[in-house]
């Protein structure tokens, strides 16, 4: 999956710089692209609570459901398309063959997890109707016992596999952020990020194409092809917005610096001298 972002403000700042100070634009583009990659990591790190733990568990629960603790030992079908899992005096719960993934391994779960995010029904169980189970006579008359028939709306997996899958994703915390932050390392050799991100740098999922050398139109292409990255496009959009504002402020420092050096009788490169707006 891919995502398209509004880069208008960011690109306009680059154009303004190139027009104002051609000799320094390559260095400016490299440094700002590095900072944009770190800003992407920062914004992505704000998703969910507790560094993403809440989001990971919530996302897994939105796709998978662990097998209940007490299920029928035999595969009860009762003439329907569902395999009945368990029953109480008030409920009868089943799962369709398409959603019965109890034989899946952790690797199988990873294969279907990201394509399924956001596509599963909101409700974890679907109400199919009521089922009469017994009729008894009491002092107040006849009473009918009724069960609510429900169908599981998640991919049903074995409980040990569910637990191991959550642990696997938890161990990957910071990988998505690292897939962006790696651009900073490639462009300047240093990454400013949290420890959970740094342990995954460099990331094989990073995209960095540096076109700043020997050209009048320097540019850097950066991004990530980490699984599920398009799901977090709003965080990348926020990173672009924040960095665009900071770039405009830095551009003001740059142009003032050039104006001052020109008045002093010489043109001094400003990209590394002026105050950097982090």
How large is the average pLDDT for residues 90-111?
A: 95
Residue 164 has pLDDT above 90, yes or no: yes
Report which of 71, 121, 70, 131 is spatially closest to residue 99, judged by C-alpha positions: 121
**Residue 245's pLDDT is what?**
87
**Residue 111's pLDDT is what?**
94
Percent over 70 (pLDDT), the chain: 76
C-alpha span between 175 and 56 (Å, rounded): 13
**Residue 257's pLDDT is what?**
58
Q: Are 124 and 153 in contact (CB under 8 A)?
A: yes
pLDDT confidence of 156, banded at 50, 70, 90?
very high
Q: Is the dihedral of CA 76, 79, 83, 86 positive or negative?
A: negative
Residue 258 has pLDDT above 80, yes or no: no
**Residue 26's pLDDT is what?**
81
C-alpha span between 242 and 71 (Å, rounded): 52
C-alpha span between 63 and 43 (Å, rounded): 25
Lowest mean pLDDT among 32-41, 49-58, 124-133: 49-58
pLDDT confidence of 100, banded at 50, 70, 90?
very high
Better-scored residue on pLDDT, 198 or 135: 198
C-alpha span between 227 and 220 (Å, rounded): 22
Q: Are 38 and 185 in contact (CB under 8 A)?
A: no
How large is the average pLDDT for residues 70-79?
A: 75
What residue segments make up the domains of the chain, in order of their start? 8-45+174-263, 55-171
**Residue 274's pLDDT is what?**
47
Q: Are 55 and 47 in contact (CB under 8 A)?
A: yes
C-alpha span between 259 and 235 (Å, rounded): 36
Q: CA neighbours within 13 Å on the CB side: how many for 257?
A: 18
Residue 260 has pLDDT above 70, yes or no: no
Residue 114 has pLDDT above 80, yes or no: yes
Better-scored residue on pLDDT, 46 or 136: 46
CB-CB neighbours of 145 under 10 Å: 12
pLDDT confidence of 208, banded at 50, 70, 90?
very high
pLDDT confidence of 244, banded at 50, 70, 90?
confident
Residue 214 has pLDDT above 60, yes or no: yes
C-alpha span between 154 and 62 (Å, rounded): 7
How large is the average pLDDT for residues 151-162?
A: 97
Which alpha helices (DSSP H) does 172-273 contain, by range? 175-188, 195-198, 233-263
pLDDT digits (tens, 9 = 90+) for 10-49: 677 666 655 555 666 788 888 889 999 999 999 998 876 5
C-alpha span between 78 and 225 (Å, rounded): 46
How large is the average pLDDT for residues 247-258?
A: 72
How large is the average pLDDT for residues 253-272?
A: 56
How many Å separate Cα 138 from the centre of its chain?
A: 58
pLDDT digits (tens, 9 = 90+) for 221-240: 999 999 878 888 889 999 99
Lowest mean pLDDT among 3-17, 38-52, 67-81, 202-216: 3-17
């Amino acid at each position: 999956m891919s995502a398209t972002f509004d880069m208008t403000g960011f690109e306009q700042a680059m154009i303004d710089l190139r027009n104002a100070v051609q000799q320094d634009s390559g260095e400016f583009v490299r440094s700002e692209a590095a900072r944009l990659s770190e800003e992407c990591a920062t914004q992505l790190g704000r998703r969910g609570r507790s560094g993403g733990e809440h989001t990971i568990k919530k996302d897994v629960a939105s796709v998978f459901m662990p097998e209940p603790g007490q299920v029928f030992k035999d595969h009860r079908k009762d003439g329907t398309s569902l395999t009945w899992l368990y029953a109480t005096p008030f409920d009868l719960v089943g799962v369709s063959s398409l959603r019965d993934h109890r034989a899946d391994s952790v690797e199988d779960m990873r294969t279907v997890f990201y394509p399924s995010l956001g596509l599963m029904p909101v409700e974890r169980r679907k109400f199919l109707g009521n089922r009469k189970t017994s009729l008894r006579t009491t002092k107040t008359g006849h009473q009918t016992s009724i069960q609510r028939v429900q169908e599981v709306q998640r991919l049903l997996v074995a409980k040990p596999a569910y637990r191991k899958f959550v642990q696997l994703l938890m161990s990957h915390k910071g990988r998505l952020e690292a897939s962006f932050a790696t651009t900073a390392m490639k462009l300047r050799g240093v990454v400013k990020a949290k420890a959970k991100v740094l342990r995954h740098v460099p990331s094989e999922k990073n995209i960095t194409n540096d076109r700043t050398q020997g050209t009048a139109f320097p540019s850097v292409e950066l991004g990530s092809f980490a699984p599920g990255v398009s799901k977090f496009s709003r965080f990348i959009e926020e990173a672009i917005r924040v960095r665009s504002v900071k770039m405009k402020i830095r551009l003001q420092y740059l142009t003032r610096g050039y104006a001052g050096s020109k008045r002093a009788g010489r043109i001094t490169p400003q990209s590394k001298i002026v105050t950097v707006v982090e």
